[in-house]
Amino acid sequence: MQTDSPPLPCNAEIFLVHRKPMLLIDTLDSCDAGLSTATVRPLRESPCFSDETEITTECFLELIAQTMAAAQGYTQRGYGSWHHEGYAG
C-alpha cells in the first residue's frame, strides 16, 4: 500500500460524505484485509437510540455500512484511487 492514507486511528469524516448528526462513526481505528474497526460515540440526541440504552437495528446496520465505507475509502486512498464522493460499489 502507498502512503497516501493517514495513520490509524484517523477521523472517519475524511472518508465519508456524511456529517453530524448522520455521521455516526468517529474514527477508523484499523483497516486490514477482512477486518476493519471504528470507534463510535453516539450522542443521546442522535436518531440511533430507541430508548435510553438501546441502539436501533437500523442504526446498527448504518454503523456497519459507515465503517465499511470508511475502510474502503482508506484502502482506495492508499492505492491512489480515492475519490471523496462516497462509496457506491
Are the C-beta atoms of residues 12 and 23 closer than 8 Å to each other? yes
- The reply to whether 30 falls in a domain is yes
- The reply to whether 3 falls in a domain is no
- The reply to whether 48 falls in a domain is yes
* 10, three cell numbers: 484517523
pLDDT at 50: 64
Question: What separation in angstroms does the CA of 71 have from each of 2, 12, 56?
Answer: 15, 9, 23
User: Model-level pTM?
Assistant: 0.80
Q: How far is CA 26 from the centre of its chain?
A: 7
Which structural domain, as residue segments, surrounds residue 58? 10-78
- The reply to whether 86 falls in a domain is no
**pLDDT tens digits, one per residue of 35-50:** 999 998 876 667 776 6
Question: What separation in angstroms does the CA of 77 have from each of 5, 40, 57, 73, 80?
Answer: 6, 22, 30, 6, 5
pLDDT at 79: 66
What is the count of structural domains for the chain? 1
